[in-house]
Amino acid sequence: MSKSLSDQLQNLGLVDKSKAKKAAHDKRVTKKKKAKSKIPDGPSTHELTAQAMAEAQVKKAEKDRAIEAQRKAKREQAERLAQARDIVKSNGTLAKGDDRKYRFTLDKKIKEFWVSNADFERLAKGLIGVVQMDKRWMLIDPEALIRVRERAPELASFLAAPEVADPDDPYADYQIPDDLDW
């Protein structure tokens, strides 16, 4: 069997017995100290916990801001809708009558409701408009209709554009019969 390095050095006379014992003792002591004080190479558990908590607080703050922004937008939309309803209630009248059906296109769909002959003429000329509230059509003046559209564009509304005569219209000289209904 081969001898240890310390035995070989003693036989050669390079190291005496006491120095070999001291070197072995120092080696054991440093090895124990190193084993006891295992210092991790990365950040400590406390630092990792603090960092995770800080990240969680930042995420929670962002989430809270997003939720508050949604609530604020919803509140503002409800306020605008309430303002539009007030405008319609104060400036509008219920479309009623059973003389004629007034038809118009809204979002690529044909809508219709019954009105009196006088209201039909005013609607056709663009002197009044209509707004749908609570599944009923309300007649409203154009200025109020514009204010309603500014506040609540989601409400169904219509205002006929006044007809402008085309100078190149070959049928301009011919009258359209009054009883023609489309």
**pLDDT score recorded for residue 69:** 96
Q: How confident is the model at residue 2 (pLDDT cuts 50, 70, 90)?
A: low
- Residues 23-82: pLDDT tens digits? 888 888 888 877 777 665 667 788 889 899 999 999 999 999 999 999 999 999 999 999
Does residue 1 carry a pLDDT above 60?
Answer: no
Separation between Cα atoms, residue 47 and residue 25, nearest integer Å: 36
Count of all residues that appear for the chain in the document: 182
Q: How far apart are CA 114 and CA 123, in angstroms?
A: 12
Strands (DSSP E) along 36-169, which ranges? 93-94, 100-106, 109-115, 129-133, 136-140, 157-158
Do 139 and 130 form a contact (C-beta atoms < 8 A)?
yes
